[in-house]
Chains A and B, each alone.
Chain A
């Protein structure tokens, strides 16, 4: 059984650029949630996808968008990057409302 994987592990972008982060969910899981963890903070819920549909959203602007594919892998897209977007982005997969399993995260630095 493969766990949750995320790519890339690290990424450096400049302000105004766009970025796409990827997540492969654990086998059998149909739900993916994305979180942003700024330095010294806990993970903040961005949104969740269940069977390719957005199923909940936190307090993040529309320039944060996502996709879930038929194989339940997912992408997080962030447009018009700002310095404050620098953070660890975590993906978690689950079977519907069950226990969430987190990936190791993607560290995004915006210069």
Chain B
């Protein structure tokens, strides 16, 4: 049962253009969402997060949008740079009975073409 889904395994974008990465989820009890970036041979690195009570969070070139009614979030990168080429994971945070965990999607490989 995949509670967090990233349906696009890969995406190619021209340098300077917008990259849009999408994520869908099924559990309405998630209280916040995160995006991680992963380079080869490294662990995931936190990028940006959004609380379930907000619909937008912006940090420099990165903006995350949350549509709770559609159970959908997206990460926008503007402008895209070649250094943004990596695998991006969407993750949802769930708190249950005093414990918590993160549930990750399968990732989207972004390639920014120079």
| A interface, CB within 8 angstroms of B | 4, 33, 35, 40-45, 48, 55-56, 58, 90, 92, 97, 99-105
Q: How many Å from the CB of B15 to the closest CB on chain A?
A: 27
Using a CB-CB cutoff of 8 Å, which residues 60-114 of chain B contact chain A? Answer: 89, 91, 95-96, 98-107
- Give the docked Cα–Cα distance between A31 and B97 (Å): 17
Work out how many contacts link A and B, with CB atoms closer than 8 A.
53
Q: Is the CB of A45 within 8 A of B43?
A: no
Nearest B residue to A46 by beta-carbon distance?
Answer: B101
The listed residue with most B CB atoms (<10 A of its CB), out of A42, A97, A104, is A42
State which of A40, A45, A55 has its C-beta within 8 Å of the C-beta of B102.
Answer: A45
Distance in angstroms from A24 CB to nearest chain B CB is 13
Inter-subunit contact B104/A42 (CB<8 Å): yes
Most buried by B among A43, A101, A104: A43
Given the known interface contacts A42-B104, A42-B106, the answer about A48 and B46 at a Cβ–Cβ threshold of 8 Å is: no
A-B CB contact pairs (8 Å), 21 listed: A33-B101, A33-B102, A42-B4, A42-B6, A42-B91, A42-B104, A43-B104, A44-B104, A45-B101, A48-B100, A48-B101, A55-B98, A90-B43, A92-B43, A97-B95, A100-B46, A102-B36, A102-B43, A102-B44, A103-B43, A104-B42
**Chain B, interface size: which category?**
20 to 34
CB distance from A91 to the nearest CB of B (A): 8
Q: Is the CB of A90 within 8 A of B101?
A: no
* A44 CA to B103 CA, complexed, in Å: 7
When distances are taken between beta carbons in the complex, the residues of chain B under 8 Å from A101 are: 46
Contact of A4 with B43 in the complex, beta carbons under 8 Å:
yes
Q: Is the CB of A102 within 8 A of B41?
A: no
A56 contacts B101, CB within 8 Å?
yes
B57 at the interface (CB under 8 A from A): no
Which listed residue, A33, A41, A58, touches B106 by the CB 8 Å rule? A41
Task: Check if B45 is an interface residue, CB within 8 A of chain A.
Answer: yes
Closest to B104 in A: A42
Q: Whose C-beta in chain B lies nearest to the C-beta of A37?
A: B104
